[in-house]
Amino acid sequence: MGRLFGTDGVRGVANEGLTAELALGLSVSAAHVLAEVGSFEGHRPVAVVGRDPRASGEFLEAAVVAGLAGAGVDVLRVGVLPTPAVAYLTGSLGADLGVMLSASHNPMPDNGIKFFAQGGHKLADELEDRIEALYHEHGTGQPWDRPTGSAVGRVRDYDEGFDNYVAHLVGVLPNRLDGLKVVIDGANGAASRVSPEAFARAGAEVVTIGADPDGLNINDGCGSTHLDGLRAAVVEHGADLGVAHDGDADRCLAVDAHGEVVDGDQILAVLAVAMRDADRLRKDTVVATVMSNLGFRLAMGREGIEVLQTAVGDRYVLEEMKRGGYALGGEQSGHVIVLDHATTGDGTLTGLMLAARVATTGKPLAELASVMERLPQVLINVRDVDKGRVETSGELAAAVNDAERELGATGRVLLRSSGTEPLVRVMVEAADSEQAEAVAGRLADVVKSSLG
């Protein structure tokens, strides 16, 4: 049986792989595991439960709430809010557990369950493993120890969560956004109300698209994975910038006044310089992944900012930030973590901070983003090969060495085995796009011949 928990909680097609029974069972298991490790010791436990607007979130939320209450946990149901809002409220309310129902940027039929521990932090792998093991154990018919009478959990709606979260976002901004016009694409997702409200309270003139969720249209031709609508809207409305979120709003990508995309690397570069100038970038260091564009690292080098690289995934970025006490990290995809103000990637906070930098400098976003030049990056997925031999193939190692010598200091080669599919990813960066494509093609051929 495959592992239920992936790198970002449990995901699957709702009512197929991700059923109400699974959601209820995992919630009960989580309550018991956290009780065993002492998280609930000496008090009646409380959980914050939120979701994105997917139709399936309605029955999955009911299952999660039933499981938690049946295990003796009081539940604060915050409704449709972003993932980072659930994390924030879990911490600010002193809750023992947070649960978010969302499949992020995935299509509408999917959904997912993500757990947060005290303080709004992602559960450790060891705790996820224990929750999964306990779930499987009781799936074989082992009875639960269930509370009765006054010991069962109570459930209430916590409508104040929306205002509390928006006030937090606006309150941590270094300056107001008066005079800016911003287009916001909410992906018909969890930020459809939150993000426009936060920008408006911060002083911006707001135009919204993708902000009419009906339970079925999340991520459908909108949001951070479909930027054409935002690009057109920014130009049409003469806006200073646009921001796009994904379904659960832990990501943010941007568009400048000319309709050009500003990706996660560029956003990270702009914020790193801003925080460095404000003496808020601890150790003058930013954390990124190995997939960040080489242009980002070169730009940060020119600015005197060190870049620490991790494996791909915002969880690895966060682990490195916590380990070293760093303030800023993120991914090219738009996951940006500002650890002083959030325990996870927060797309609304990222967009607000980017807009704040435009407002305080008086410089257009295009000029700020030009701190780095994106080098051409070519990615080829080579399928049906023995990905386990990537590190041991002498033929492949020689081909990589030859490619790196050819590219020199202005290019880069990265080979990665997929964690979920039988394929190897070949990524090549170079100052010239034709050279990047040629080198990537040659390396892909060697991967096929040597690992096929």
Binding-site positions for Mg(2+) read 104, 246, 248, 250
Is 92 an annotated catalytic residue? no
Region class of 221: left (phi > 0), else alpha (psi between -120 and 50), else beta: left
Cα separation of 403 and 441, whole Å? 11
* Catalytic residue of the set 27, 56, 104, 224: 104
How, if at all, do strands 97-101 and 46-51 pair? parallel
Residues in the annotated binding site: 104, 246, 248, 250
Q: How far apart are CA 315 and CA 89, in angstroms?
A: 20
Find, among 220, 201, 198, 248, the residue nearest to 209 by Cα: 220
Q: Which residues are catalytic?
A: 104
